[in-house]
Amino acid sequence: MRKPVIAGNWKMYKTVADAVDTALAIKRLVANANHCDVVIAPVFTALKTVVDRLEGSNIRVAAQNCSTEVEEGAHTGEVAAFMLREVGVSYVIVGHSERRQFYFETDTMVRRKVLAAISSGLTAVMCVGESLAQRDQGIAEPVVSGQLSGGLSGLTASDLDRIIVAYEPVWAIGTGRTATPEQAQVMHAFIRRVFAERYSEEAAQALRILYGGSVKPENIAGLMSKADIDGALVGGASLKAESFAQIVNYKNG
């Protein structure tokens, strides 16, 4: 069975002190959560402190981005995946729609970041998702399959256990407008089929596919009841320890 993942993407919020406060509060509130992997993604400057303060807990730490470059070098402003690994980071979010939209990340850059993450021992949480215009035009599936092929070309079947896919329809991010569990399920099943065709049925069945876009304590259980939804990437509702913990503990809610 696939173990669910509930991940909080803190985006560009929280000072180091705020990040530590929230992380420690989450730690208390999710201490008994064994049914899923719990992940939080603070800003770069808070990563090491948060990792250190969470040592021995059931929470893992993600970065929100990494360099396309694998080796150190003259790349002003970049942080390499192996440097994230060095400070105890376990996951990295790659290809978030905000990075694609506002920082012009292409599928080729996403692919290089995924490869850098994997070769450095991180798990890549690769984000895909269509815009509202693309959904309205009826091209959501080709858009997502294009992002998957672009982002994952060059990967071998053995790399796949270090890949998590997050389906985040752009129209649902930060808008309060969640995809219905049925809409999300249709796309998740499609993503799994793409993996089955590209790799193998076994790899597809093992792949964890998270939903992201206005996930809240009120809608997590409905989403998690769907066969192909294996967790959530949570933005706004992950910023407060209580609401994030409620999402993590959706089973008891």
Q: Which residues are catalytic?
A: 96, 168
What is the Rg, in whole angstroms, of the alpha carbon atoms belonging to the chain?
17
Among 4, 95, 217, 235, binds ligand PGA (CB under 6 A): 235
Query: Can you say how many angstroms the Cα of residue 190 is from the centroid of all Cα atoms in its chain?
Result: 18
What is the closest distance, in whole angstroms, from the C-beta atom of residue 22 to ligand PGA in the complex? 15
Sole window of 16-24, 100-108, 148-156, 227-235 interacting with ligand PGA (rule: CB under 6 A): 227-235
Backbone angles phi, psi at 44, to 5 degrees: -50, -45
* DSSP for 163-188, written as a single string: EEEEE--GGGTTSS-PPPHHHHHHHH
How many residues of this chain interact with ligand PGA, rule: CB under 6 A?
13
How many whole angstroms separate alpha carbon 55 and alpha carbon 250? 24
* Position 173 contacts ligand PGA (CB under 6 A): yes
Nearer to ligand PGA, 164 or 234 (CB): 234
What is the closest distance, in whole angstroms, from the C-beta atom of residue 176 to ligand PGA in the complex? 8
Q: Which residues contact 203 (CB under 8 A, 6 or more apart)?
A: 157, 160, 195, 196
Name the burial class of residue 166, with classes exposed (0-12), middle (13-18) and buried (19+) by CB atoms within 10 angstroms of its CB: buried
The 8-37 site mask, x for binding ligand PGA (CB under 6 A), equals -x----------------------------
Among 105, 168, 228, 230, binds ligand PGA (CB under 6 A): 168
Q: Residues interacting with ligand PGA, by CB under 6 A?
A: 9, 168, 173-174, 212-215, 233-237
